[in-house]
Amino acid sequence: MHIAFLTPEYPHPKVKHAGGMGTSIKNLAEALVKQNIQVTVIIFGQNLSDHFTENGIKFYTIADNNYVVGKWFFYRKHVQKVVKNIINKNKIDIIEAADWTGFTAFMKFKVPLVIRFHGSDTYFCSIEKRHQKFKNKLFEKIAIKGAVTYIAPTYFAAKKTAELFNLEISKVNIIHYGLNIELFKNENNLKFTPNTILYFGTLIRKKGVLQLPDIFNKVRKEIPEAKLILIGADSYDISTKSSSTWKLMSEKFVADDLKNVSYLGKKPYHEVQTYIKDANVCIFPTYAETFGMVTAEAMAMQKAVVNSNFGWSDELLVDGVSGFLANPNDTDSFAQKIIEILRDKKIAIEMGSQARKHVVENFDSTKIAKKNIEFYKSVIK
């Protein structure tokens, strides 16, 4: 079996963008190769067109093109033509694409097209209760209707997307994202810097970061020595039109609290892992996800986590056992969960141990790859 992934992002030096969607594709692609499945990754919207093979995976990058008018249509048709040639040349059996902005709208292939619900613009706009561009909703609807079947990383994402696009929930297959457990190890989970709180991920409103100043203030009222470390790219804020979410955050911190806050910007992931190991607790007050990959990564490294308690989170961890769930709007409650971990080393260690156990049992990429293989076989039979 030969599967192709069509994506705008992927974690690789030759690729312009990499985010959670790209990371989940990479984890799956590498796990599939280990199961002797042929994998091709096709990345559109790039600086140049190229092809190469690395770690058993074939890569094709498709350069972005400019058009005087109608790029939304003509570039899609250009990509479709390139992808069709790749399918024929490599004898690909099935192609998978994402739902975001409906890129596969107006595309047709001779092999089955599967769409994985990484989170459409429609999905996030609905959760965040914000206005959506008409064309994005239209393209996503056309793209989804053009797929033969669907995958979602959580039941919540499946149910929500099915409601938004009038799909039968029975047609959406639930397969969690997977992690390469061997890449997320913490050999000494007993060692960490007390009272260190870590957030890693993009600084953006939908991740709940604008609640952190109030949460941290309440933590420091009980634990003055607490420190907050933030790692991740800054971003434009869609609500205020500010070019920097960090600037908005920094203005919300009490001056005395800000002295205990370190914003380190974006870091290579091997460095991020060092900070995860050193943290007493990792926090993710996010409002909008389909799964929560960074939370699972912290859990895999035996860290106690406090995550938002919305929809998908119940499928990510067991509250009070492998992590804590709290509503970031209730900053008192969220802060108290953090305080409980900081005050009791035994809770931090035991919860971290249970967190890794939960990830190994439910999100190990080897197990997840096998579930995907069975799914792909059922589609192409």
Q: Is the pLDDT of residue 364 over 90?
A: yes
Please name which of 253, 242, 285, 290 lies closest in space to residue 24, comparing C-alpha atoms.
290
Q: How far apart are CA 116 and CA 98, in angstroms?
A: 5
pLDDT tens across 267-286, in order?
A: 988 899 999 999 999 999 99
| pLDDT the model gives residue 306 | 98
Q: What was the pLDDT predicted at 269?
A: 82
Tell me the C-alpha distance between 247 and 267, whole Å. Answer: 19
The whole-angstrom separation of Cα 67 and Cα 43 is 19
Distance CA 278, CA 268 (A): 16
Which regions of 71-222 does DSSP assign to beta strands (E)?
Answer: 94-98, 113-116, 149-152, 172-174, 196-200
- Distance, in Å, from the CA atom of 324 to the CA atom of 305, rounded to the nearest integer, reads 6
Residue 374, both tokens = 């069975």
Q: How many alpha carbons fall within 13 Å on the CB side of residue 307?
A: 31
β-pairing, 50-54 vs 57-63, is: antiparallel
Q: What is the pLDDT of residues 301-357, one digit of tens each?
A: 999 999 999 988 999 999 999 999 999 999 999 999 999 999 999 999 999 999 999
Both structure tokens of 198: 């870590």
Q: Could you tell me the two tokens for 224? A: 């003055």
Handedness of CA 59, 60, 63, 67 (dihedral sign): negative
Q: At what angle do helices 134-145 and 121-128 cross, to 10 degrees?
A: 130
Average pLDDT over residues 157-186: 94
**pLDDT of amino acid 82:** 96
Tens of pLDDT, residues 55-91 = 999 999 999 998 889 898 999 999 999 999 999 999 9
Question: Can you give the pLDDT at residue 132?
Answer: 85
pLDDT value of position 7: 96
**Res 172 pLDDT > 90:** yes
3-state per-residue secondary structure call for 180-204: CHHHCCCCCCCCCCCCEEEEECCCC
Instruction: Say if CB 278 and CB 196 are below 8 A apart.
Output: yes
Q: Are 227 and 262 in contact (CB under 8 A)?
A: yes
How large is the angle between the packed helices 293-300 and 20-34, nearest 10 degrees?
Answer: 60
List of domains in the chain: 2-178+364-380 (3.40.50.2000), 183-362 (3.40.50.2000)
pTM passes above 0.85: yes
Element (H, E) at 231: strand 227-231
pLDDT at residue 381 above 80?
Answer: no
Residue 18: pLDDT over 90? no
The secondary structure of residue 180, as a DSSP letter, is -
Contact 303, 341 (CB under 8 A): no
Q: Would you give the end-to-end CA distance of the chain in angstroms?
A: 11
Residue pair 28/367 in contact (Cβ under 8 Å)? The answer is: no
CB atoms within 10 A of CB 149: 14
Output the pLDDT for position 30. 96
- Radius of gyration over alpha carbons of the chain, in Å? 21
Q: What is the pLDDT of residue 188?
A: 86
Residue 16, pLDDT score: 87
